[in-house]
Amino acid sequence: MQVYADNAATTKISQAALQAMMPAFETYYGNPSSLHSVGQEAKEVLENARERMAACIGCEPREIYFTSGGSEADNQAILSAARLGEKKGKKHIISTAFEHHAVLHVLQKLEKEGFEVTYLDVKTNHNITAQDVKNAIRPETCLVTVMYANNEIGSILPISEIGAVCKEAGILFHTDAVQAAGHLAIDVKKQNIDMLSLSAHKFHGPKGVGVLYCRRGIALTNVIDGGAQERGKRAGTENLPAICGMVAALEESLAHLEENTKKVTALRDKLISGLSRIPHCALNGDPKNRLSGNVSFCFEGIEGESLLLLLDMKGVQASSGSACTSGSLDPSHVLLAIGRVHDVAHGSLRLSLSEYNTEEEIDHILTVVPEVVAYLRSISPVWRDLQTGKRTYIL
């Protein structure tokens, strides 16, 4: 049995998305900037996609900017807000310690330029509160950038409450909603979100395409200069097939949001309760406000990388921390941020489910993971030291 349980890294494209892409390759292949009829037909398809995307998140079509994905949208949102803040002498940003690298690395760049960043602590409940944001606001704060849901540990952040706090304080609010889009309802106006990033390949759309929503009246700074596409704010010939696939995937996900959430939550809870029986383990992430597809554990005395490779041999594709961290020896910054010590953080496992997973697959995971953990512990010197009392258990 093959069980794909790495949907937070990327998802399989849906049939609806694939079908929606074909006409853009075969029929509407014109350049939307061309003045002739083939170009103008493509332009119409593009603007129709923009309207439908806007309807999915509750904004106006002209507030939608198509990008190459979540990373680009995060970069542009944060850099734009920073440039606007700078002009007013405001160089303080509020974020969290467990953001995606697409946010954190931009913030680190800005810190080198003299910006100050407050990284909110995420040790309590593996989450933050709107009050945490409120407490961190200073007169010179120009931006709050806080993710909607965490990609590694699944915590869902109180975005509506944070939006209200930012609105009251008159501070721009950006959210990296890459893990939320297609999985949680989004209404940028009701939630007082000024800027939002999303990415198609996390909700069964194609890779290499995403959206930056930017509220009307906020001046974007270009990250990619060139032609006048996307209201002059993002140059480059539009990836129309990918854009059509993304919109179809999001509409499909939203049309089935409730039933998918119900189904995936049941699978997740079965998996969490089964894996919790493994001795000396801990669940990562907010136990209550949690993505329906996220299961994240730390197992003491083992290496997550070995666990992954053995699981793959037994047909289960999972992840330990984030895909971007694999290949490096440092444990995930997210697990360190929630207070896991290095040794424990190294023994992490993330299983991320989608509506394509089945109960039989969950049963397979529940057979395989405890076996592999027990095997790895049986050959682990750290585990031997824990058992003989030379080391003390942390979990």
Ligand X SMILES: *Cc1c(COP(=O)(O)O)cnc(C)c1O
- Binding interface with ligand X (CB under 6 A): 69-71, 74, 100, 102, 147, 151, 176, 178-179, 199, 202, 210
C-beta of residue 181 within 8 angstroms of C-beta of residue 150: no
Sequence letter at residue 35: L
As measured in angstroms, the least distance from the Cβ of 179 to ligand X is 5
Comparing CB distances to ligand X, the nearer of 8 and 376 is 8
**What are the φ/ψ torsions at residue 157 (nearest 5 degrees)?**
-90, 155
Nearest to 113 by CA among 99, 93, 138: 93
**Minimum CB distance to ligand X, residue 294 (Å):** 11
Nearer to ligand X, 192 or 199 (CB): 199
Nearer residue to ligand X within complex by CB, 137 or 144: 144
324 as an active site residue: the answer is yes
Report, in Å, the least distance between residue 154 CB and ligand X.
Answer: 11
Q: Which of 166, 214, 281, 324 is catalytic?
A: 324
The rounded distance, in Å, linking the Cα atoms of 175 and 162 is 10
Please tell me the total number of residues recorded for the chain in this structure: 395
Between 95 and 179, name the residue whose CB sits nearer to ligand X. Answer: 179
Supply the minimum distance, in Å, between the C-beta of residue 99 and ligand X: 8
As a whole number of angstroms, the distance between CA 395 and CA 373 comes to: 15
CA distance 180 to 149: 6
Q: How far is the CB of 77 from ligand X (least distance, A)?
A: 11
| Minimum CB–partner distance for residue 183 and ligand X (Å) | 11
With a CB cutoff of 8 Å and minimum separation 6, the contacts of 382 are 301, 343, 391
Measure the CA–CA gap between 336 and 284, rounded to whole angstroms: 11
Task: Find where tokens 């270009």 sit.
Answer: 222
Contacts of 170 (CB under 8 A, 6+ apart): none
Q: How far is CA 41 from CA 45, 89, 279, 331, 353, in A?
A: 6, 45, 61, 49, 38
Residue 216 contacts residue 12 (beta carbons within 8 Å): no
Using the structure block, give the residue that is written with the tokens 């704010």: 233
Q: For ligand X, which is the closer residue by CB, 92 or 100?
A: 100
Q: Given the complex with ligand X, which of 75 and 380 has the nearer CB atom?
A: 75
Tell me the catalytic residues: 324
